[in-house]
Structure 1
């Protein structure tokens, strides 16, 4: 295909250029279904973010078109997301101070910053961050965000207002707030819930969210329910978005930098979980670094069209896949349909009651809650359970942004703990002469006079001391005398680190005084080069280096046998062979 650089930069072009005609019917059906689900959700999430309903529509159109060009997933649908919008609202609302225009400008600025961080991460190939926040941490985070959203929407569903801004205070305030329930608003909420449940029960293929919002808006319009004090969306601008340049001081902008970084990371991890699951289901791979770039461009496109931050939308992606969507043309079609509504059909949106939107948000948030899965971690992996629980309570007790920050730190600490305190094994031989770990099954037996050690992490300056301590601790537990220690160098010696070299020098001198030979098995050429640079002695009287574990065992056995039989010439010959083998570059 021509223009390979352009295709590498915009992977979606290749898929569109190679589009197969038999996909068209499925993609059209999926595009209509995605638009039907995305429209009401976009309006509801705009309310959650604290901006006009039209902004929710703007946040769908251009980002979906951009992702269709830059993304590598064929099924993923991007757009407003409950967790993303909750984070933005938590950051921006205190800074805006009740000024709606400033609030909108701050939302756009945070969206641009989020996109910028995604592009920086893509440039430095940090797609590996998709694995950085472990699944238990993300589970706790999403559960906490969902509960926070649900509690926040109670005021819209019951028609009262919370006096407190934090979750725990709001929960404590609920009994008193219920006495201020606005009954007409509660009736609209009840009708919305009832219709939603009936549709899910008897018409599961219908877009329930769109139907209930349409019905609620129709009731308000027919019976002029606004006179009863029912709050509605209000006027929704039609047409293309008008550009609004941010007008605030840099001091406030600085407050958005780190929250935008947190938001970029959480959005990307959440998006990748969705993208990877559907890619695996449909039999293809995605590129994490290109996905980071696509998310960055989509967020910047959202800000330029006056929208807010977006992420991968799991519910809309599931709708796409369920309706047989085959390509990113689904995103293009859905975006065009939403654009038509934003340009010409926004007038009916003004009658949608806020209570109905609150119900839609609660329903969407309920899909994020999976306390049962968190609880099941308790029996399968207790450390994972504690991570999920800690993140969950952090979001609930100290807020969304501090909770996300703590989740990021927990992910970092979890990684550092894995690297600095990895598992290790003592190796032996089984009945067939195969080297394997020694465990409770007793399939492998220790080799007389030989101690074989494996450290399951790359050695670096912050775990070198632990490596030495673990090796010596296991070594002194040996019941039989040991005169040779063999270290499996393959998993642990991956790069040159002078601190590690210094530790090995100390270890070799310590073992030499005890009459123990230190042998490194594997990565022969690299180790010889690194030892030479570090000034470590090799060969007889120094660290012996062997190509692999089996040859290390064979040569040690030959040396000991010759020594035991008192064959001085043979011992000398073996020493010379060892010296030659150590310094050869086979």
Structure 2
């Protein structure tokens, strides 16, 4: 079997017949990415062209080091409010120090994500449950809406937390510029309408062009409508930001949080679109690609980048066959940076706010909200708590709380597992939890117990207590215990001690103990490592409950009918 290529895996299998599809998809992607990257840069208090630099660097780095053929990487509205909120606490927004710290953050995030890929840490992407992720996105959406409200209304840009920004808007309501409001609402309406007709329509670019023409034709700059103005010409040089070791130490918590969000979103996007290319997903290799993308973005003086599910969907839906699609889009953006910046001078800031309003509404997971509320009210509470934490607290603290809640919820589910007695399904060799219809069968003197969760330190104490209580409840008639261990994936030190305690409890009561269906190699090795195999003996572990019951019956028969001693004869 041929080994996968080390570089440019997103171009593997490409042929000339794929060129037309990649070109068309690249044009569509560029039309969507240009306004989106500008708006996302503004969301982070960066100059719009910095979003272009981030996109160009990210696309090139991922195409070289990543694996997915469709994944689109660049400035992303999910992580930008997080990094902007964190950076605003340590540097003045828009200052040279702020820009340098953003570039340093990109380098740190890139290094963490790249290391995660090299160390094959794709499992980290499962740290956030679906409800917590929905709450996280809801909180981010509120941050986007509140941060862009002044731009939409033509008011001075605010600062501070969500409540301070809202208070500032309320205080300035008498100064609303209705031309700006009309432009922003119009852009939002056009983008929303185009999205409903077909996601392939570059609604954001169309809306931005219409708004820019309106500003020029109606002379709206003279009516107080703020525009981008002249943007710096040329490309930035590559280099390390001018920062100190203390700056790096200060950014460590923020870099870890942003890196986790990047890995979660990258893994979800990679898995969602892997089937489109006919190749299995390689989450770890895509971590390497996205990590390299952030590294190059940082060297270009930009900020951390992320994979984008909507843009990746566009690449897939418009017929993109490889990373050449993204490279074409990046080339178009590069041409705009080099020769077309004058076209952007009259773009109204309210139009970018309208685009970001659309982005904020799109990332809200309405189906998850309603489905969770109806089917799992407790998990709906996780959505609300996470969203409120991200809105009410410093955004990086809110994200940390969301991750903590997700982990605690998973651990809580494991602690609620209970030991349960299994019954034999009539007419079969299957042992199953009691279902009532038909009524299961039991073997006299034998207790078959299963634990309905992986066994570890978080539930070992409850496991031991419940198991011993079930044994004590049958004292007098119970002779044999079979532990059905199919749910036991691994056994840590604490769980091993709990299991040894149950075995000792059985021995003290004169009851034999057997283990059945311990299927994973890790758990089998753990039994040997903690001395449980030696404690039980190799003949006490079985591949099925039925095998264990058969062995018990054989031992009972042997005990009742021992073989007579061999006769001797005298010669």
Report the TM-score, using the length of structure 2 for normalisation.
0.90
Residue 463 (structure 2) aligns with: 467
What is the CA deviation profile of residues 168-200 of structure 1, one whole-angstrom value per residue up to 9, with x for unaligned ones? 344455444322312332233344345545655
Q: Secondary structure at the match of 1:454?
A: strand
Instruction: Find out whether 1:567 has 2:556 as its counterpart.
Output: no
Instruction: Find out whether 1:358 has 2:347 as its counterpart.
Output: no
Q: Secondary structure at the match of 2:479?
A: strand
Instruction: Find out whether 1:455 has 2:451 as its counterpart.
Output: yes
Q: Aligned partners of 2:181 and 2:485: how far apart in 1?
A: 68
For residue 387 of structure 1, report the CA deviation from its aligned partner.
2.2
* Contact 1:538/1:545, CA 8 A, preserved across alignment: no
For residue 333 of structure 1, report the CA deviation from its aligned partner.
0.9
Change (3 A) 1:9 1:261: farther
Q: Aligned partners of 2:34 and 2:176: how far apart in 1?
A: 29
* Contact 1:498/1:534, CA 8 A, preserved across alignment: no
* Contact 1:505/1:536, CA 8 A, preserved across alignment: no
Change (3 A) 1:324 1:243: closer
Residue 488 (structure 1) aligns with: 484
Report how many aligned residue pairs link the two structures.
Answer: 563
Q: What does 1:220-235 align with in structure 2 at a 5 Å threshold?
A: 220-235=215-230
1:337 to 302, 310, 332: 332
Residue 534 (structure 1) aligns with: 531
Instruction: Find out whether 1:158 has 2:153 as its counterpart.
Output: yes
For residue 227 of structure 1, report the CA deviation from its aligned partner.
2.8
Residue 56 (structure 1) aligns with: 51
Residue 34 (structure 1) aligns with: 29
2:124 to 121, 129, 143: 129
Residue 138 (structure 2) aligns with: 143
For residue 408 of structure 1, report the CA deviation from its aligned partner.
1.6
Change (3 A) 1:406 1:223: same
2:381 to 369, 376, 386: 386
Change (3 A) 1:532 1:296: closer
Q: Aligned partners of 1:544 and 1:96: how far apart in 2?
A: 65
For residue 358 of structure 1, report the CA deviation from its aligned partner.
0.5
Residue 240 (structure 1) aligns with: 235
CA RMSD of aligned residues (A): 3.0
Report the TM-score, using the length of structure 1 for normalisation.
0.87
1:274 to 266, 269, 274: 269
Residue 305 (structure 1) aligns with: 300
* Contact 1:517/1:543, CA 8 A, preserved across alignment: no
What is the CA deviation profile of residues 470-528 of structure 1, one whole-angstrom value per residue up to 9, with x for unaligned ones? 21234445599321111124432635x45444433332232223232111225599869
* Contact 2:518/2:524, CA 8 A, preserved across alignment: yes
Change (3 A) 1:206 1:289: closer
2:179 to 184, 191, 203: 184
What is the CA deviation profile of residues 258-315 of structure 1, one whole-angstrom value per residue up to 9, with x for unaligned ones? 1111111112211222221122355432112112111110110111222221111122
2:106 to 106, 111, 114: 111
Q: Aligned partners of 1:180 and 1:47: how far apart in 2?
A: 22
Change (3 A) 1:194 1:441: same
Gaps of 5+ in 2: 567-571
Instruction: Find out whether 1:402 has 2:397 as its counterpart.
Output: yes
For residue 223 of structure 1, report the CA deviation from its aligned partner.
4.2
Q: What does 1:362-373 align with in structure 2 at a 5 Å threshold?
A: 362-373=357-368
Gaps of 5+ in 1: 574-586
More displaced stretch, 458-467 vs 357-366: 458-467
Instruction: Find out whether 1:412 has 2:389 as its counterpart.
Output: no
Q: Secondary structure at the match of 2:89?
A: helix
Residue 426 (structure 1) aligns with: 421
For residue 70 of structure 1, report the CA deviation from its aligned partner.
2.1
What is the CA deviation profile of residues 381-433 of structure 1, one whole-angstrom value per residue up to 9, with x for unaligned ones? 33432222221121122142111111221232233334454454422211123
More displaced stretch, 130-139 vs 43-52: 130-139
For residue 25 of structure 1, report the CA deviation from its aligned partner.
1.4
Change (3 A) 1:557 1:428: same
